[in-house]
Structure 1
Amino acid sequence: MKNAWWVGSSVGVLIAVGAVIGGGVWVNQAGFGLNHPEPMSVEMPAPLFSPAINPDATETPDFSALVQQLDTQAADARLGTFVGVARDVESGEIVWEQNQGIAVRPASATKILTAAVALYELGRDDTIATEVVEGAQPGTVVIKAGGDVTLSQEKLDDLATQLEGQDINTVLIDTSIWPDESFASTWDPVDVDAGYIAKVEPAMIESARIGGAEGDLPRSHTPALDVAKAVADRIGATEVGEGTAAEGVVLASVESETLEKRLGRMMEDSDNVMAEGIAKEVAASKGLPTDSASTAQMTLDILKDKGLDLSGVSIVDNSGLSFDNLITPRLLDDILTRAATETELRSLLSSLPIAHGNGTLEERYEDLSGAGWVRAKTGTLTNTSALAGVVTSESGRVFTFAFVSNDAAIVPARAALDEMASLLRDF
């Protein structure tokens, strides 16, 4: 979370949302037009962590009025073909649902599955090393790509600094850690220049963006070679190319951010390259094929092994860019509920954009009660809009939800989805 932080936990339910929940304290650092008082200074309570939800509570509220409101909203023509579900986390009760078991196009809500699998298999503290080793020929070095698709200019500067004083004229890059196809057959090559995807290779500068570090900028068609060229330019080497890294002296190395931070960046920008890269990282760690179809199947296999209901679900990538993906709201909500109740997945919730605060939700919820309280993953494809996340209600209940609209214009559908999530906030 880039511009605010939340401190808190719970007994039985782990929540990280932009709000005060039990002993949690929301501190705004950049404004974003949220409706709340000026930042305050408080002494930390002792103990630091306090319950968000009372595990001894026995009464579950009457949700009937909320159900009627959600039914009315779900019938809004702006939502087209609409499916969804909302759950009260404390009781585990499904508060409302409409065809929650029907699989539909999820768009980037697919990234919820990818994030869960990465946290299960790698852990939130996972990092990726990018090393430079001696080449077989004098004056040659080889960058041993490790799967970091977010190499920054600062990281490249660091590598170059570590190589100072070496007599290097050739920089090669070894991408063999991901030996399989790097661009799925279900993706449109036009989307490379449009800024939505690139060949996913195990060393890339800011997800292959050209001219910046975030947003839908045009992407490079030669991501890994760009890394080799960037290092070569910094150290005055004249030749770049592909090569094989042998076991030898490591001359320079840098570490990526933790998986927890990378998931935050992936979710905030809905970065397709990062999603595919993280899935390939998981596959490589397990010795599995790294093409997108195989990593998608791996994701489903891992979720099934974790006891999740995958009835009707099929995906062919891990970013949601393909129109061939089909996911049920039930699966999305089941994962989110686990993230709200299991330590292992809690970083998934803190990675989600904040309504009218940051990322893909920054420009939404301006006049809605959900502003600052809803945290959710968005999804957008032609005639497809999704919103899946968590919100704390006025009454202190914590709801998870997954709403997906197909066959409807994007802008009106988004507005209707935001209004629906705000109904949960108003409870």
Structure 2
Amino acid sequence: MGAVIGGGVWVNHSGFGLDHPEPMSVEMPEQLFSSAIDPDALEAPDFATLEKDLTSQAADSRLGTFVGVARDVESGEVVWEQNQGTAVRPASATKILTAAVALYELGREDTITTKVVEGEQPGTVVIKAGGDVTLSEEMLDDLATQLEGQDIGTVLIDTSIWPDEGFASTWDPVDVDAGYIADVEPAMIEAARIGGSEGDLPRSHTPALDVAQALADRVGADTVDEGSAPDKTVLASVESDTLDQRLARMMKDSDNVMAEGIAKEVAASKDLATDSASTSKMTLEILKDKGFDLSGVSIVDNSGLSFDNLITPRLLDDILTRAATEPELSSLLTSLPIAHGTGTLEDRYDGLSGAGWVRAKTGTLTDTSALAGVVTSESGRVFTFAFVSNGSAIVPAREALDEMASILRDF
């Protein structure tokens, strides 16, 4: 997401006055973390110099109030930490928690079906929303094609799968028009963006009705409204991308709507309440059940848009380490943007050794910058890390964070 400054006033990336080079092209290996370490090596590596370099970088004034941790995945050793158990504002690094819970509960091949069923009245069809917040124009075309030959005058949409509020009390309504969030409903066209399919475009204030209207326009119906889907014949249906694919897109754009939608999907699958307060509570309960240390952690949403979220670097790093060692969570790592290559890291790391090697989730709010991910060092070791800066200016803090992750690459 972009930088939210103050009560919903926002800064576009272009407003920072930075001149970025073209992003590098990165060819992904078949296996992201095949070990490059000699299994017969008897001596453990000496992390003392690495720890010294990271400690020196952590003292950089650009980082404000700074907490963090870095871990060697091979040995499980924490090679550096600074108040890793202190909970701070994490911004969009919160999405790491959301992704982990979704993979645990839904599985990487999970998809969402959006159905159109026959209505109670002649000439009426009802869209049975299933939780897909990224319906595309092509998917709507597909539904319309499947409905050819039907005499349709009314299109209704049933959003009852998520019966609870879709806009958290801790979000600022101005962020809808700024492009960061929308009322999260279980059927949305490209996460309710207006005028495009990615980036921080203004969002619609009536996402589900927009879906009904878009289908009505395609089939020539005159009336659009909300309604209940009866247990009648399914006339058309479309399937979402897999969870793996959706997580990659969510991380690439740091899409708050997708993060909240995925959390609601998990909640609905467990017959739990789908408001943000309830889904964030669910997220922490699932992580606790999986054995994670949640000391000091509290969240009120699943996207990180709220200023009230508090997460420790230790928890972020624990999840990333599990993802580096457990197949169940492995796609969390492959979903992360690549330094100077993709997504929210595309325009960063120019001239730094971490370019092309660091994969990380960013986080940006007023006075808040976060970076949490994984990097393979020059010596072949894999490090996970979680760095969070509060009380700092965004651009200088980002530069310092990128330099810190590059220290791990240089080891």
TM surpasses 0.5? yes
2:35–2:381 CA contact under 8 A, matched in 1:
no
In structure 1, distance between residues paired with 2:25 and 2:81? 30
Encode CA deviations 1:98-133: one digit per residue, 9 max, x unaligned. Answer: 000000000000000000000000000000000000
Query: What is the 5 A alignment of 1:25-424?
Result: 33-34=23-24, 51=35, 57-424=41-408
In structure 1, distance between residues paired with 2:126 and 2:40? 59
Encode CA deviations 1:218-245: one digit per residue, 9 max, x unaligned. Answer: 0000000000000000010010000000
CA positional deviation for 1:60 = 1.8
Q: Partner residue of 1:19?
A: none
Encode CA deviations 1:10-49: one digit per residue, 9 max, x unaligned. Answer: xxxxxxxxxxxxxxxxxxxxx964388xx79x9x9xx9x9
1:149–1:205 CA contact under 8 A, matched in 2:
yes
Identity %: 82
1:32–1:357 CA contact under 8 A, matched in 2:
no
- Segments of structure 1 that go 5 or more residues without pairing to the other structure are 1-30
TM-score, with structure 1 as normaliser: 0.89
CA positional deviation for 1:313 = 0.2
Q: Given the superposition, is the C-alpha separation of residues 401 and 244 from structure 1 closer, same or farther in structure 2, using an over 3 Å criterion?
A: same
Q: Given the superposition, is the C-alpha separation of residues 50 and 63 from structure 1 closer, same or farther in structure 2, using an over 3 Å criterion?
A: closer
Which secondary structure state, in structure 1, belongs to the residue aligned with residue 322 of structure 2?
helix
In structure 1, distance between residues paired with 2:25 and 2:146? 47
In structure 1, distance between residues paired with 2:61 and 2:120? 65
Q: Given the superposition, is the C-alpha separation of residues 58 and 310 from structure 1 closer, same or farther in structure 2, using an over 3 Å criterion?
A: farther
In structure 1, distance between residues paired with 2:43 and 2:263? 41
- Segments of structure 2 that go 5 or more residues without pairing to the other structure are 1-20
Query: What code does the residue aligned with 2:229 have?
Result: A
In structure 2, distance between residues paired with 1:71 and 1:128? 46
1:85–1:329 CA contact under 8 A, matched in 2:
yes
In structure 2, distance between residues paired with 1:393 and 1:92? 15
CA positional deviation for 1:59 = 2.8
Query: What code does the residue aligned with 1:114 have?
Result: T
In structure 1, distance between residues paired with 2:122 and 2:25? 62
1:171–1:229 CA contact under 8 A, matched in 2:
yes
In structure 1, distance between residues paired with 2:309 and 2:355? 30
CA positional deviation for 1:54 = 5.5
CA positional deviation for 1:386 = 0.2
Which secondary structure state, in structure 2, belongs to the residue aligned with residue 158 of structure 1?
helix
Q: Given the superposition, is the C-alpha separation of residues 59 and 132 from structure 1 closer, same or farther in structure 2, using an over 3 Å criterion?
A: same
Query: What code does the residue aligned with 1:97 have?
Result: E
1:180–1:289 CA contact under 8 A, matched in 2:
yes
2:298–2:311 CA contact under 8 A, matched in 1:
yes
Q: Given the superposition, is the C-alpha separation of residues 53 and 232 from structure 1 closer, same or farther in structure 2, using an over 3 Å criterion?
A: farther
Which secondary structure state, in structure 2, belongs to the residue aligned with residue 70 of structure 1?
helix
Query: What code does the residue aligned with 2:356 have?
Result: G
Q: Given the superposition, is the C-alpha separation of residues 33 and 293 from structure 1 closer, same or farther in structure 2, using an over 3 Å criterion?
A: closer
Runs in 1 of length 4+ with deviation above 6 angstroms? none
2:25–2:341 CA contact under 8 A, matched in 1:
no
Q: Given the superposition, is the C-alpha separation of residues 338 and 57 from structure 1 closer, same or farther in structure 2, using an over 3 Å criterion?
A: farther
195-204 vs 60-69, greater mean Cα deviation: 60-69
Query: What code does the residue aligned with 2:49 have?
Result: A
2:69–2:82 CA contact under 8 A, matched in 1:
yes
Encode CA deviations 1:292-348: one digit per residue, 9 max, x unaligned. Answer: 000000000000000000000000000000000000000000000000000000000
In structure 2, distance between residues paired with 1:252 and 1:34? 42
In structure 1, distance between residues paired with 2:186 and 2:37? 42
